Amino acid sequence: MAAGRSTKTSFTAGELGDQLLGRGDLRAFENGARRLRNVFIQPTGGVTRRPGLRHVATLPGAARLIAFEFNTEQSYLLALTHQRLDVYLGDLLVATLAAPWTGAMLDQIAHTQSADTLLLLHPAMPPQRVTRSSHTSWNLGGWNWIAAPFFRFADPGVTMTPGGTTGSVTLTASAPFFEAGHAGSQLRIGGRRVTVTAVASATSATAQVVETLAAAAATQDWDEAAFSSVRGWPATACFHQDRLVLGGSRDLPNRLWLSRSGDLFNFDLGTGLDDQAIEFGLLSDQVNAIRAVFSGRHLQVFTSGAEWMVTGDPMTPASIQLHRQTRIGMPNSRILPPVDVDGSTIFVARSGQAVHEFAYTDVQQAYQASDLAMMARHLVQDPVSLAYDQTRRLLHVAMADGSLSTLTLYRAEQVTAWTRQETEGAFRALAEIDGVVWCAVERAGTVRLERFDDALAVDAGLTGSADTPKAHWTGLGHLQGRAVQVVADGAPHGTFTVLSGGVTLDEPAGEVQVGLGFSHVIEPLPPQLLSAGGSRSGPLRLVAASFRVLETAALSVDLGRGAQPVPFRRLDTALLDAAPLRFTGDVTLRAFGWRRDTMRPLWRIEGDTPLPLTLLSVTIETRMTD
């Protein structure tokens, strides 16, 4: 009978898919786990129970969350809902504005920010600009174009005849061209602008001359505004090298426009001088719509079928170059802005089953796109929102099924670890501001604005305090009729039902937190049962397991006979009902019985006690028959 002892010192490979259960030769197998729920992997290798979610507000409906960071001291959260924009400063609603978008448009709204101005774009909406002049003074309106771009959509043989050179003129096209939506848009005839005021028919319209025309004669030298209600509006944008970059529109999905340098709303191409505007299309074997433009080491362009690098230092009409890098593609169903992580760009693949790291390699002088979800494909299924918490190095990815997958990413230490967060509801949208991750969570038919809070151990939770301890606590209308967990004066107080917007405790308390409970699970991969000769052996007996924990107040371990709480209370504790002390050190548990099912884990941590838990390592002693 062989005895063995092994120590698991790290969980830096995260939860692994079942396809890897036979790959004990992989390093990921050594540092991975079978199941990780409602926990985060620390960059140093430990695993900790996730914080709870604090209830902030009930939103009018489906929402898109956007961070607005003016500087490190003035940051706001924008919540876009049906025909409405709400602005939050911390947990406080400071402004509400009427908006031109609908709830059905939220998934395709793109954004970019410069200083105190946020630009919002959608192919079916004139681009909007959100400006801030104080905490409570906000404005939402259309762009003030200095010079909008133009494009020839009509057949080259179609002529346009103006009825005059100044004032109000009649425009006559030689073939059907005008649509009702052309009213209010501009045309350029011989390089001179006119504004269409009314459309009489498909071949006739009235226009106001903006720049005196050269002649009142038929000409093929004319074009129209690239963006209009007829042709669609820009789809994506970013700022790069002091230029505003617009990527794609409804009718020109693979075209890029770069404004004049330092003149962000001026897209006049001029004569091609270094500081003048730039315009070009992505010409390749496929016409793929631009889904995102991103300013990194280079201007990066993400389409539905490939990723491109635009170079030029500085970027001028003469120096600009375009190079396709990889052929992954991004989803068409929604806008998912790429995220910068340590100089690499993280983006979601068109398949909806992968998250890629778009990184530049100096050796090859090119970008590569590595798949970060290769080992945990089951946790990445149709992402709908991303947010990166740089403080904890956590990339949160909300999925269409309402789950939240979290990736701990630390390239310098080769940490790529996925876990999954679950709640009584569905995660629908995410945003991150100064290390705080905000969520739009659908619960009981309503959408709630919540945020992760280290001071909470429950979801949809609120905290309360009173100078004089009391048993009845109110203000819980958002949890009406729900079974909630209560932490009173630092100790778990049981489960109660919210009635009339409140709960009544068995005993008075001075401080409470009330919210929905959630369970955490830490389950290792099956043991590798190999004899000295390399052949599979069994059965196996777990003799003992030692858990090294950090600042842990509650631990429940299953060694084969169900989860059992581990007592941490010290004999010198003054009050038995006092808040549990946090324990740091080793906890050794004895186990009994032989294991014949080699797929069952030797140990499992599971519990819903709303108290902190951090697991650093696990050492097991086993015996195996020869």
Asked if residue 396 belongs to a domain, the reply is: no
Looking at the chain, the whole-number percentage of residues with pLDDT higher than 90 is: 83
Asked if residue 593 belongs to a domain, the reply is: yes
Contacts of 364 (CB under 8 A, 6+ apart): none
* Residue 50 per-residue DSSP state: P
Q: Is the pLDDT confidence value at 284 over 90?
A: no
Q: Both tokens of residue 342? A: 């340590």
pLDDT band at 573 (very low <50, low <70, confident <90, very high): low
Q: Can you give the pLDDT at residue 569?
A: 58
Tell me, yes or no, whether 512 and 545 share the same domain: no
Q: Can you give the pLDDT at residue 493?
A: 93
pLDDT band at 64 (very low <50, low <70, confident <90, very high): very high
> How many CB atoms sit inside 10 A of residue 567's CB?
10
Query: Is the Cβ–Cβ distance between 11 and 45 less than 8 Å?
Result: yes
Task: Please count the helices (runs of H) and the strands (runs of E) in the chain.
Answer: 1, 53
Phi, psi dihedrals of residue 201, rounded to the nearest 5°: -160, -175
Looking at the chain, the whole-number percentage of residues with pLDDT higher than 70 is: 96
Please give the Cα distance from 369 to 324 (Å, whole number).
12
Asked if residue 492 belongs to a domain, the reply is: yes
Tell me, yes or no, whether 528 and 487 share the same domain: no
Tell me, yes or no, whether 496 and 524 share the same domain: no
Domain count, the chain: 3
> Dihedral of CA 265/266/272/273: which sign?
negative
Tell me, yes or no, whether 616 and 539 share the same domain: yes
- The radius of gyration computed from the CA coordinates of the chain, to the nearest angstrom, equals 30
Tell me, yes or no, whether 539 and 512 share the same domain: no
> Given 180, 210, 225, which residue is the final one in a domain?
225
Please give the Cα distance from 508 to 576 (Å, whole number).
16
Mean pLDDT of all residues in 389-401 = 97
Tell me, yes or no, whether 524 and 585 share the same domain: yes
Closest CA to 600 of 518, 534, 529, 519: 529
**Cβ burial, residue 140 (10 Å; 0-12/13-18/19+):** middle
Asked if residue 502 belongs to a domain, the reply is: yes
Q: Is the pLDDT confidence value at 533 over 60?
A: no
Tell me, yes or no, whether 501 and 525 share the same domain: no
Mean pLDDT of all residues in 44-67 = 98
Please give the Cα distance from 611 to 566 (Å, whole number).
13
Q: Can you give the pLDDT at residue 531?
A: 45
Tell me, yes or no, whether 512 and 524 share the same domain: no
Q: Both tokens of residue 509? A: 């308390």
Contacts of 167 (CB under 8 A, 6+ apart): 208, 209
Tell me, yes or no, whether 156 and 221 share the same domain: yes
Asked if residue 323 belongs to a domain, the reply is: no
| 72-82 core/surface letters (b: 16 or more CB in 10 A; e: else) | eeebbbbbbbb
Structural domain including 537 reads 2-51+520-624
- The mean of the pLDDT values for the chain is 93
Q: Can you give the pLDDT at residue 581?
A: 87
Closest CA to 77 of 478, 406, 430, 441: 430
Tell me, yes or no, whether 209 and 156 share the same domain: yes
Q: Is the pLDDT confidence value at 247 over 70?
A: yes
Compare 573 and 361 and report the one with higher pLDDT: 361
> Given 225, 258, 280, which residue is the final one in a domain?
225
Tell me, yes or no, whether 531 and 612 share the same domain: yes
Asked if residue 432 belongs to a domain, the reply is: no
Compare 580 and 292 and report the one with higher pLDDT: 292
In a 13 Å sphere around the CA of 118, the CA atoms on its Cβ side amount to 22
Compare 626 and 72 and report the one with higher pLDDT: 72
User: What is the SS3 assignment for 190?
Assistant: coil
Contacts of 420 (CB under 8 A, 6+ apart): 15, 36, 37, 38, 379, 403, 404, 405, 406
| Largest Cα span, the chain | 103
Asked if residue 445 belongs to a domain, the reply is: no
Q: Is the pLDDT confidence value at 181 over 50?
A: yes
> Given 516, 537, 563, which residue is the final one in a domain?
516
Phi, psi dihedrals of residue 381, rounded to the nearest 5°: -135, 100
CATH number at residue 574: 2.60.120
Asked if residue 221 belongs to a domain, the reply is: yes
DSSP string, 431-499: EEETTEEEEEEEETTEEEEEEEETT-SSEEEEEEEEEEEEEEE---GGGTT-EEEEEETTEEEEEEE-B
Tell me, yes or no, whether 553 and 616 share the same domain: yes
Tens digits of residue pLDDT in 252-277: 999 999 999 999 999 999 999 999 99
